[in-house]
């Protein structure tokens, strides 16, 4: 099962909030608050990979929308560097064939099994078997399966289950930033990279293997339903006691790490305790 995987692209608005509000029934006009109106209409794209045995590959592709379709030389020097993010750019924030081939080379083959099978949708950039074959490292083989157009919502594991949880986690971060008036501009380049790095890191925790296995089960690739589990958002954002304090600074909690189980306030998660760096964890505690 480790050799059978699925990878998919998902678009995220540069600023993503919950569509819910709290007001009186029958209210005709409900005001909302955002950081940037422009960010509500522009997007970026991620591409991550999961396997049937419940793993997520340790690196993913993030494509940002940039003028001219590339990062400037000064931007590349100072851009936020996350260990699990392969950052690229395009003029639209969407992936082209060149991005897909780069994903195969840097984000798929280094972590794939010796003989792997990957399930992809029918986007044109993912169907050039000849170009992909040229990237296969010596000693490895690849079997490429293509989902027919119109069927991804039924049989693509990432679409069927995973990405809605991912986007829910992103909303938790951005909604908290707005509610607490925190000095984080989420639609800025470095903050997008950091936020997606945190989300990907949490999904990679062994704690959430059943969640990924369930995505394959729901899409029809597993016969046996995984045992009852907590999703990433349920464990990280909904399972902390209202009176629990941050492990590091004793302020009010924001989330619980899916790796080390520690409760964290927003600042210790985003900036690290005493600004030591954002919370990127690989110390697993049952």
| Collapsed DSSP state (helix, strand, coil) of residue 102 | helix
pLDDT at position 166 is 97
On whether the CB atoms of residues 256 and 235 are closer than 8 A, the answer is: yes
Instruction: Supply the pLDDT for residue 40.
Output: 65
Query: For residue 193, what pLDDT is reported?
Result: 98
DSSP, collapsed to helix, strand or coil, labels residue 130 as helix
Closest by CA to 268, choosing from 254, 284, 285, 282, is: 254
CA-to-CA dists, residue 114 to 5, 36, 66, 88, angstroms: 13, 46, 36, 27
Instruction: State the pairing for strand pair 141-146/85-90.
Output: unpaired
Q: What is the DSSP pairing of strand 43-51 with strand 4-13?
A: antiparallel
Q: Name the token pair of 202.
A: 């949490």
Tell me the C-alpha distance between 282 and 206, whole Å. Answer: 10
CA 32/CA 104 separation, integer angstroms: 41
d(Cα 214, Cα 97) in Å, to the nearest integer? 30
Separation of alpha carbons 192 and 174, rounded Å: 11
Q: What does each of the 286 residues of the chain score in pLDDT, given as a tens digit?
A: 789 999 999 999 988 766 667 788 888 887 776 666 666 668 999 999 999 999 999 999 999 999 999 999 999 999 999 999 999 999 999 999 999 999 999 999 999 999 999 999 988 788 888 999 999 999 999 999 999 989 999 999 999 999 999 999 999 999 888 888 889 999 999 999 999 999 999 999 999 999 999 999 999 999 999 999 999 999 999 876 767 899 999 998 899 999 999 999 999 999 999 889 999 999 999 9
How far is it, in rounded angstroms, from Cα 23 to Cα 172? Answer: 20
pLDDT of residue 42: 81
Query: Going by C-beta distance under 8 Å and a sequence separation of 6 or more, which residues neighbour residue 17?
Result: 32, 34, 171, 174, 175, 178
Residues 143, 54, 218: CA angle, nearest 5 degrees? 85
Structure tokens at 258: 């899916």
Closest CA to 97 of 130, 50, 142, 51: 130
Position 29 scores a pLDDT of 80
Q: Are 264 and 248 in contact (CB under 8 A)?
A: yes
């Amino acid at each position: 099962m480790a050799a059978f995987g699925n990878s998919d692209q998902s678009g995220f608005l540069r600023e993503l909030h919950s569509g819910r509000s709290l007001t009186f029934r029958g209210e005709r006009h409900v005001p909302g608050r955002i950081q940037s109106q422009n960010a509500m209409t522009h997007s970026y794209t991620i591409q991550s990979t999961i396997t049937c045995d419940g793993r997520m590959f340790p690196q993913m592709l993030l494509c940002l929308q940039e003028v001219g379709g590339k990062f400037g030389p000064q931007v590349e020097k100072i851009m936020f560097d996350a260990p699990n993010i392969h950052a690229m750019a395009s003029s639209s924030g969407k992936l082209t064939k060149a991005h897909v081939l780069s994903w195969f080379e840097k984000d798929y083959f280094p972590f794939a099994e010796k003989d792997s099978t990957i399930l992809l949708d029918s986007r044109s950039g993912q169907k050039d078997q000849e170009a992909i074959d040229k990237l296969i490292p010596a000693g490895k083989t690849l079997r490429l399966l293509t989902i027919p157009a119109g069927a991804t919502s039924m049989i693509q594991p990432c679409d069927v289950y995973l990405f809605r949880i991912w986007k829910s986690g992103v909303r938790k971060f951005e909604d908290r930033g707005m509610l607490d008036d925190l000095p984080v501009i989420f639609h800025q380049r470095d903050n997008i990279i950091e936020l997606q790095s945190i989300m990907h890191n949490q999904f990679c925790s062994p704690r959430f293997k059943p969640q990924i296995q369930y995505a394959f089960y729901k899409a029809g690739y597993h016969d046996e339903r995984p045992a009852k589990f907590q999703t990433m958002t349920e464990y990280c954002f909904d399972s902390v006691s209202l009176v629990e304090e941050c492990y590091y600074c004793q302020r009010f909690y924001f989330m619980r790490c899916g790796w080390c189980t520690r409760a964290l306030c927003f600042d210790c998660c985003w900036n690290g305790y005493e600004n030591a760096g954002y919370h990127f964890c690989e110390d697993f505690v049952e």
